[in-house]
């Protein structure tokens, strides 16, 4: 039973950094049964919890953002350079993915904040850090 829990709730260090505003990042630090959990930060100040979900046969890759009284979600677009990755192609391997776009993140944030840098970051791409191994996360 312990080994199962260790696999499900395993600490990780996956950092996604905004290409538009490098002081804004998403730090995914916990692997769970069907998602990665972390926080969205601006200059190390936590704005809320952030989750990424891998694709299934029924659903594409997705994300969600939560803080008290606020919850958004949307589709995750994974890329290698300027080429889109998806599980039904063979040209790009999941570990080669190096940036991500969170569809709908900016429009959802615009409903609850006027923070210019946050909106600018949310409307652009995030670089996927080396601890993430592209679309997958390195196992320790």
Q: Considering the domain boundaries, does residue 138 fall inside one? A: no
pLDDT digits (tens, 9 = 90+) for 8-53: 555 678 999 999 999 999 999 988 888 899 999 999 899 999 999 9
Cα dist from 121 to 2, 40, 63, 107, 137, whole Å? 39, 11, 15, 12, 23
pLDDT digits (tens, 9 = 90+) for 117-129: 999 999 999 999 9
Q: Considering the domain boundaries, does residue 78 fall inside one? A: yes
Q: Which domain holds residue 95?
A: 2-132
Q: What is the pTM of this model?
A: 0.86
Q: Considering the domain boundaries, does residue 51 fall inside one? A: yes
Q: Considering the domain boundaries, does residue 104 fall inside one? A: yes
Count of domains for the chain: 1
Q: Considering the domain boundaries, does residue 87 fall inside one? A: yes
Q: Considering the domain boundaries, does residue 47 fall inside one? A: yes
Q: Considering the domain boundaries, does residue 140 fall inside one? A: no
């Amino acid at each position: 039973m312990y080994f199962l829990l260790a696999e499900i709730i395993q600490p990780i260090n996956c950092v996604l950094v905004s290409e538009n505003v490098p002081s804004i990042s998403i730090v995914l630090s916990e692997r769970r049964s069907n998602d990665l959990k972390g926080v969205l930060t601006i200059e190390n100040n936590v704005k809320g919890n952030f989750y990424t979900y891998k694709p299934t046969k029924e659903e594409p890759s997705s994300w969600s953002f939560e803080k008290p009284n606020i919850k958004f979600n949307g589709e995750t677009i994974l890329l290698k350079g300027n080429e889109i990755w998806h599980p039904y192609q063979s040209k790009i391997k999941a570990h080669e993915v190096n940036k991500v776009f969170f569809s709908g993140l900016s429009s959802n944030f615009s409903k609850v904040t006027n923070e210019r840098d946050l909106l600018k970051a949310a409307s652009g791409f995030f670089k996927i850090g080396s601890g993430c191994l592209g679309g997958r996360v390195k196992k320790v």
